Structure 1
Amino acid sequence: MKILPAALIFLGMLSPAAAHEYWLEAPSHSVQVGGQVGIGIFVGSDLTGQQMPYLPRGFRSLQHFAPGAEGAFVQGRIGSMPAIALSDLDEGLHIIAQETRDSRLTYTEAGKFETFLRAEGLDHILTEHAERGLPEVGFGETYSRSAKALVGVGNAEGDDFEVGLPVELVALDNPFTTYGDVQIQSLVQGEPAAYVRINLFHRNVAGVVSETHLTTNEGGIANAPDLGTGFYLANAVHMDPVRDLGPTAWHSSWASLSWSK
């Protein structure tokens, strides 16, 4: 396990304007019974990014839900990478869930906000931004990121479920035991997010990355297609207006869900 020097702890805490996805990834999400797994925290774009160290003061929560058990805080060593190390794993489907504390950025470059919104299927926010009379630059955004990873141990049987993240993606089908599409539900504060974008990334065994845009139905559900063996990442972003906080105009909440086949 690699340990970062203290001077490097804060490097790579990239904002939405600089990097898009935030996700949890292991070398393999399928593990033998009684085995161990190291799960990295990544921030970047198109499944290429910088790995982040274990830094609990930057977390609101970091929990491991073993089969049939309540969530337990994941202990670790500050600066270690991968950030999450689990061992002696019981058979079934394991859920690892993390939420960061809020960070803040200021948009100083024209077009950055628009580029970010269009990449996430949030074009309507541009209209609302203009209707509020907000400038193109010089305004702020707070943001938080949530990430879940599914790890299948042994037969990998079990179900993903809502763990209480502010914005959350839930696999309604177990991707380790399901052949074909996997239904994913997008939730905002526990309520289905209807007609919103989910970006699905897939990296195949040759390292080729593809991106598929999904749209949820009235129940907040979208079908993630089976794209073959590899690593899968579903990503969604929700924007809330911020008022009466000076130059801060928006808060973005990010959610991701990862697994492998």
Structure 2
Amino acid sequence: MSMRSWIATALFALAAWPVCAHDFWLQPSPYWLAPQSAVQLTLQVGHGPYRQRSPIPVRRIARFEDLAPDGAIGDLRPRLHLGAAEADADAPLAVPGTHLLVLETDNGAMTSLPAIRFNDYLRAEGLTPALVERERTHRTDRDGAERYRRHAKALVQVGAPGAGGSDAVTRPLGLALEIVPERNPYALPHHDELPVKVLYLGHPLPGALVKLTRLEHDESPVETHRTDAAGRAVFTVPAHGSWLLNVIWTRPLPASDDADFETSFSSLAFGFP
């Protein structure tokens, strides 16, 4: 049996696992803290009854950094302790302002699903170009395999809003797939609009399905939008609760590759006291 067939067989048993289990994010506890404090973080995957701590191995984490309000960049990989009882990592955050925490994995993971499940997943996540590609190549009735990577950002406010800087929040970081807020969520008036831009390989991404989920009631998103021609979408965010924005995009791989697509998952987590 080939490796690809073995993966497909093994994952067929997990067919009941919902497509929302692809969602992955950095979960700070709490999102707001006093200066000279440390925040604990867990790596979360899935939603509703399927939500759990991510079992990702540390070897797959390629980047884990704190972009501080004063422009300093701190490498947080030494602060990882995946699977520990309390948290998967901790980050000392001294400088007042909004800290941007970012975690990236490599693209070494691969999954395969039976044709119906794979097509349903592509539809649910708004990956229309992948559906079109499968139709063009007459593969809609074949199992689908993808190699994937994850990009997770989280915003942590140290001190009161307005204290310190927040420039890093609205700047792209050069991730393969990235949600960039055009305003700092922590500087928004109550129940105001939050415009975001989605970038793929450094360029605005039109037609991507962006979901906003309240993490206290995370069975399904509360708001979804497709990005416009400039890669933008606008959400209404109440100034309470914990929130997750996430988006997925994919591209076809050459026929010689073990997988059909290379997929990127991107998230942005933030919350209010």
TM class by shorter chain equals 0.7 to 0.9
> Match of 1:71, as an amino acid?
I
Aligned mates of 2:223, 2:122 — CA distance in 1:
17
Aligned mates of 1:44, 1:25 — CA distance in 2:
12
The range that moved more, 123-132 or 57-66, is: 123-132
> Match of 1:131, as an amino acid?
R
Native 8 Å contact 2:80 2:89 kept in 1: no
Give the C-alpha shift of residue 162 in structure 1: 1.3
Q: What residue is the counterpart of 1:4 in the other structure?
A: none
Give the C-alpha shift of residue 94 in structure 1: 0.2
C-alpha offsets along residues 199-223 of structure 1, whole Å, 9 cap, x if unaligned? 111135x788643111222221111
Matched, 1:122 2:124: no
Native 8 Å contact 1:21 1:46 kept in 2: no
> Match of 1:58, as an amino acid?
R
Q: TM-score, normalised by structure 2?
A: 0.81
C-alpha offsets along residues 14-73 of structure 1, whole Å, 9 cap, x if unaligned? x99572210111232111112221111111135952113684311121111111224322
Aligned mates of 2:74, 2:18 — CA distance in 1:
29
Q: What residue is the counterpart of 2:7 in the other structure?
A: none
Q: What residue is the counterpart of 1:3 in the other structure?
A: none
Native 8 Å contact 2:47 2:219 kept in 1: no
Structure showing the higher helix proportion among its residues: 2
Matched, 1:20 2:28: no
Aligned mates of 2:39, 2:235 — CA distance in 1:
25
**Which residues of structure 2 form unaligned runs of 5+?**
1-16
What SS is found at the alignment partner of 2:35?
coil
Q: How many residues align?
A: 245
- Counterpart selection for 2:75 from 59, 67, 73: 73
Matched, 1:176 2:179: no
- Counterpart selection for 1:134 from 119, 139, 145: 139
Aligned mates of 2:140, 2:123 — CA distance in 1:
18
Q: What residue is the counterpart of 2:4 in the other structure?
A: none
Q: TM-score, normalised by structure 1?
A: 0.84
The percentage of aligned residue pairs carrying the same residue is 24
> Match of 1:76, as an amino acid?
R
| Alignment CA distance shift 1:210-1:17 (3 Å) | closer
Q: What residue is the counterpart of 1:150 in the other structure?
A: 155
C-alpha offsets along residues 151-188 of structure 1, whole Å, 9 cap, x if unaligned? 11113441312112110111111111112111111011
Q: What residue is the counterpart of 1:6 in the other structure?
A: none
Q: What residue is the counterpart of 2:6 in the other structure?
A: none
Aligned mates of 1:48, 1:29 — CA distance in 2:
23
Native 8 Å contact 1:54 1:82 kept in 2: no
Q: What residue is the counterpart of 2:11 in the other structure?
A: none
Aligned mates of 1:209, 1:134 — CA distance in 2:
30
Matched, 1:104 2:104: no
Indicate the RMSD between aligned Cα atoms, in angstroms. 2.4
Matched, 1:39 2:41: yes
| Alignment CA distance shift 1:48-1:228 (3 Å) | farther
